[in-house]
A and B are shown apart, each in its own frame.
Chain A
Amino acid sequence: MFGAGGGTSSYREVEETDVILLWGSNARETHPIFFHHVLKGIRNGARLVVVDPRRTSSAQWADLWLGLDVGSDIALANAMAREIVHAGLHNRAFVERATSGFDEYRAAIEPYTLEEGERLTGVPAAAIREAAHAFARADRGMICWTLGITEHHNAVDNVLALIDLGLLCGHVGRWGAGLNPLRGQNNVQGGGDMGAIPNKLPGFQDIERDDEARARFEAAWGCTIPPRYGWHLTSMFDAMERGDLRALYVLGENPAQSEADVHRTRRLLAGLDHLVVQDIVLTRTAELAHVVLPSSASWCESDGTVTNSERRVQRVRAALRPPGDARDDRWILTEIARRLGADWEHDEVEWVWDELRGLSPMHAGMRYDRLEGRGLQWPCPDEEHPGSPFLHGRLWAEPLEGPRVPFSVVHHEGPVEELDDEYPLRLTTGRRLESYNTGVQTNLYRSPLHRGEAICLAPEDAASLGVADGEVVRVSSRRGSVEAPVRIDAALRPGLAFMTLHFPDQVDTNVLTIDATDPRSGTAEFKAAAIRVERLEASGRAAPQLAAAAGD
């Protein structure tokens, strides 16, 4: 938030907050550990409001569920904000002391009346009002979101709309109040912290704008760092399309199955001069590679640290030796550097950590031995510092420390791909509890929970299409077609369909998705495609065949 890429709050805070606004997230299934903290919060009396087009298993826990149209999040947030302002429920003291741009913001949200909100989102005005009042009246309120917010062509605007809502109510910078994107893996946060993003050096130091930081890194590394942002994943594929990018080194990613519009992705990967894939299993991407480097499983075969969604840096230790010729990622990287002529040593992991501490001020106080036990939460600027349970406490300091936080003016903009007679259904994609991303890891073993891919349809849509549960249908978007069995799902309302990406070998869901991308975040609009569903000719293609495939 506000520059540093991390959630503002600790997990414990969600247990001690009053209202949890879970937006575009089915955390019950996709962030099950975090949801345990939510459940504790609920047990302690917190109210849960879930915003999601589907009535998910998270929504079943909610005091109030708002079933908005896919891609209408900004309209909903703005309508809530306008209601809060008009009801006089916004936190005037906080807005005046710690924010800027409120007047412009207030003017911008003025058109988003409850009625307009209902028109744009489909959510009844009374329900919008109820959610707005619940969040604004709470002593402590917390907004948590995931890919339902960020997998849109206007992802950054979506996030800004939620931040606005938090600022408006003063729900940030205090214990139990905050703005939290939930991370999908144990170390997504750590990846960003260490600079594995195109615009930041380790510790979220800007490559272009922070000359002083760049100089420090140059001195430490003995090289010149071009003051230019790199490419994120989506722009890399655009560069491949243009022919500017000819070689690719992929570590622990499977874009051949996880990217939107995978037909295009695979064509571009196959056209590279050189593709190196470093992974623990032979993924579909690795099958396209010129060189495959088998690496260790970092959670059990590597030493180092991981950083979770609450910015907590924790030690991990190797418990096993990697099998066969597999090597630790760090060993492989060092060895490549050496063979390219650099004078890198195969350092102790603690030396690497100490180099980070010397270069990233927010990690400076995290002496390696201090990470034992429960770890430390950044920022931790010196060795006496206890770590930071929540961020932005400065906004409440007297007098205010640092700059004011600006409101952002953002406006509703529906999904890129509109529905029409040819493609009348809205497909949104997501994940399920028992599977993980493209199934590279979770489909390695058999499980009765793996039911295989299906196109989930509302009972009313299934009836009007004349398709039965389990019947295989053709699902088509403007980019391609797949065949998938139907699963009738009452969590969906008519017009809304749902699929996952967990079984790409069975059903290549990302053939259907659109790669319309937010230029700022590089994230594609996985959440909103237009599709149609057709019955196969009565050729006897029946479910049992797919059921058999499902467990594999």
Chain B
Amino acid sequence: MDLKPIAAAPTGAERAAVDALLGPPESGWVGGPRDVAVDGRSAHGGHAARGRRHLLLPALHAVQERVGWISPGALSYVCQRLTVPPADAYGVATFYALLSVEPRPPRVLHVCEDIACRCRGADELIAALEERVGPEGTVAPDGAATWLRSPCLGQCDRAPAALVADAGEGHGETVQAPASLDGLLGALAGGPLAPEPADPLPQQGEPGLRLLRRVGVVDPTSLDDYRAHGGYEALRRAIALGPEGVLREVVDAKVVGRGGAAFPMGRKWEAVARQPARPHYLVCNADESEPGTFKDRALIEGDPFALLEAMTICALATGCERGVVYLRGEYPRAHAVLGAAIEEARARGLLGEDVLGSGLAFDVEIRKGAGAYICGEETAIFESIEGYRGEPRSKPPFPVVEGLFGRPTVVNNVETLVNALEIVRLGGPAYAAIGTEGSTGPKLFCLSGHVARPGVYEVEFGTTLRELLELAGGVPDGRALQAVLLGGAAGGFVRPDELDLRLTFEDARAAGATLGSGVVMAFDDTVDLPRLLLRIAAFFRNESCGQCVPCRVGTVRQQEALARLVRGRPRGGVEAELALVAELGRCMRDASICGLGQTASSAIESAIGRLGVFAAANGGAG
């Protein structure tokens, strides 16, 4: 808080961008014109000023969107406005991939280089861009555009993907998926962008769907259409049940979180409901960044009111007055659709001071992420919302005791929350009858890679992996399946002879696998698995927040070892390198603060142990 201002002034556009968010400055002490008669005699600040710290990331977004990068002058102005030391704010600005403190042209193409897109031509696309334009960061001749490599953009069902970010007056982001070389070259030349295509929804309109029932069926901009398809019936029922009644149903439903950690949702809700400290917060984790995951995007884009209704039920049950949807910065359509839905729900009294005349006060706002995988971690998300670097907190205290702004907080993934509608609609015991004893309810899986019909699929727990792959049309072009990545980069590989694995938490655990966030990525026999592993290692190296040593150093060492193996120049032999990878994995698993480090080696180790990758090179059995 000791401000050491930097001697740089904002431009008019930068000032305007910040003022549009924060309003005009109240005094000369916070960036306004100095009026010594007033400013020389008194100043307000303190708690009120520091209480606006959470606006730091939105303010940085505002500058980035308006100008294309965050100059020292802009950073200085944001800091004055919010009473944040510039060095501190610089640490925040440089934490996020979508923000830049170096000059960037107004148009930036973020081209996905991650594993799902690689199955669908990302390598070739990037190679062509490098040849035709130059390496990433090369600015187009007219200075108006550049391209950068990007981690998974969550568009794996329409790979390969790119996100075009345009700064300036009419700023905005546009998804290009599937992206073509000609399209990207045109975009780099300042040409018009292709409209974002609709999501492929393979099961659209099929009977028996629960979570996806309305997706692709209803008009996501129409509250009336949502109501016509059963919307807000669950909330009415929840109000009739009352908070205790809702909690009972959720506990009876035996539902667990769908974000990857599989924590019982009822226990989490009850714990927050019982906390005497006020206020309570609800954070909806929509920072869907696990490579190969795009189900939450599909839900929000296709059925935004369902999420709002589910959040309102959660608020009712747990005593939350304020909800925050922390939404991936790379999801422009979801942002627009959900933002419009919130406005609409507010206008119709479904959010606000007195929801449905029940006396419940609850409102929701969207906080936009800025390109950081770690912010999906359940405490890093709080740090990010509060305006700090998205570094996970040590637990305990757990979020249900001290979460957002130090208050009891429910943090649930989008899919998890949406299940609340079915739970309230059916009743807890009836919901628990879906699926298996240990894994109740419906589940969304994101199928991508080498499958004929990629997309989000809803099945009941207990469906086998084989059935799911068949649902998606199997491996196309008559190729053979080489491996399936289950659970995303933080998950693990399974072999083609393990496809009878029942997709439940308990079966996955017994098989030494994980369902993670529901990623099912298939790879045919053309895929160079060692290079794929190297990409996974690079992903974790880039996304490690750097806070704790095991992860900060371990992810680097892991990538280096894999790079040597892939190049065919292992140090001390393949066995020694594999032993090193195993030891690094153990260290990160045992000693990292959060799940990122703890799982940064799991896919790689499963490929080595389960698939025998690198074993062939060592002369062993393949």
Q: Chain A residues in contact with chain B, CB under 8 A?
A: 28, 42, 45, 47-48, 55, 57, 59-67, 122-124, 127, 458-460, 490, 493-494
B40 touches A493 (CB 8 A): yes
Q: When the two chains form the complex, which single residue of A28, A47, A67 contacts B42, counting CB atoms closer than 8 Å?
A: A67
Chain A residue, CB-CB nearest to B44: A64
Q: Kindly provide the distance from the CB of B572 to the nearest chain A CB, expressed in whole angstroms.
A: 45
Chain B residue, CB-CB nearest to A67: B41
In the assembled complex, B274 has its CB within 8 A of some CB on chain A: no
A66 to B40, CA, bound (A): 9
A458 touches B46 (CB 8 A): no
Q: When the two chains form the complex, which single residue of A45, A48, A494 contacts B40, counting CB atoms closer than 8 Å?
A: A494
In the assembled complex, B43 has its CB within 8 A of some CB on chain A: yes
A54 to B519, CA, bound (A): 60
Q: Kindly provide the distance from the CB of A502 to the nearest chain B CB, expressed in whole angstroms.
A: 19
A45 to B44, CA, bound (A): 16
Question: 10 extra interchain contacts, Cβ-Cβ under 8 A, other than A63-B46, A67-B41?
Answer: A47-B47, A63-B48, A66-B41, A123-B41, A123-B42, A124-B41, A127-B41, A127-B42, A493-B40, A493-B41
A64 touches B36 (CB 8 A): no
* B1, B42, B43 interface centre (most CB from chain A within 10 Å): B42
In the assembled complex, B405 has its CB within 8 A of some CB on chain A: no
B2 touches A63 (CB 8 A): no
A55 touches B44 (CB 8 A): no
A59 to B1, CA, bound (A): 11
A460 touches B41 (CB 8 A): no
Residues of B within 8 A of A490 (CB): 34
Residues of B within 8 A of A57 (CB): 2
A60 touches B45 (CB 8 A): yes
B1 touches A122 (CB 8 A): no
**A494-B42 CB under 8 A given contacts A60-B2, A60-B3:** no
In the assembled complex, B29 has its CB within 8 A of some CB on chain A: yes
A60 to B2, CA, bound (A): 7
Q: List 9 A-B contacts (CB under 8 A).
A: A42-B46, A47-B46, A55-B29, A60-B45, A63-B46, A127-B42, A458-B36, A459-B34, A494-B36
A55 to B83, CA, bound (A): 14
Residues of A within 8 A of B34 (CB): 459, 490
Chain A residue, CB-CB nearest to B36: A493
Chain B residue, CB-CB nearest to A433: B2
8 A Cβ contacts from B1-49 to A: 1-3, 29, 34, 36, 38-48
Q: Kindly provide the distance from the CB of B407 to the nearest chain A CB, expressed in whole angstroms.
A: 14
Q: Kindly provide the distance from the CB of A58 to the nearest chain B CB, expressed in whole angstroms.
A: 10
Q: Chain B residues in contact with chain A, CB under 8 A?
A: 1-3, 29, 34, 36, 38-48, 83
Chain B residue, CB-CB nearest to A496: B40
B2 touches A28 (CB 8 A): yes
Q: When the two chains form the complex, which single residue of A48, A60, A61, A122 contacts B41, counting CB atoms closer than 8 Å?
A: A122
**A48-B36 CB under 8 A given contacts A60-B2, A67-B41, A122-B41:** no
Residues of B within 8 A of A61 (CB): 1, 45-46
Chain A residue, CB-CB nearest to B4: A57
Residues of A within 8 A of B42 (CB): 64-67, 123-124, 127
A61 to B40, CA, bound (A): 16
Q: Kindly provide the distance from the CB of A82 to the nearest chain B CB, expressed in whole angstroms.
A: 19
Residues of B within 8 A of A67 (CB): 40-43
Residues of A within 8 A of B48 (CB): 63
Residues of B within 8 A of A66 (CB): 41-42
Q: Kindly provide the distance from the CB of B85 to the nearest chain A CB, expressed in whole angstroms.
A: 10
A124 to B35, CA, bound (A): 14
Chain B residue, CB-CB nearest to A55: B43
A64 to B43, CA, bound (A): 6
A62 touches B45 (CB 8 A): yes
A127 to B42, CA, bound (A): 7
A494 to B41, CA, bound (A): 11
Chain A residue, CB-CB nearest to B43: A65
Residues of B within 8 A of A63 (CB): 44-48
A62 to B44, CA, bound (A): 7
A61 to B29, CA, bound (A): 12
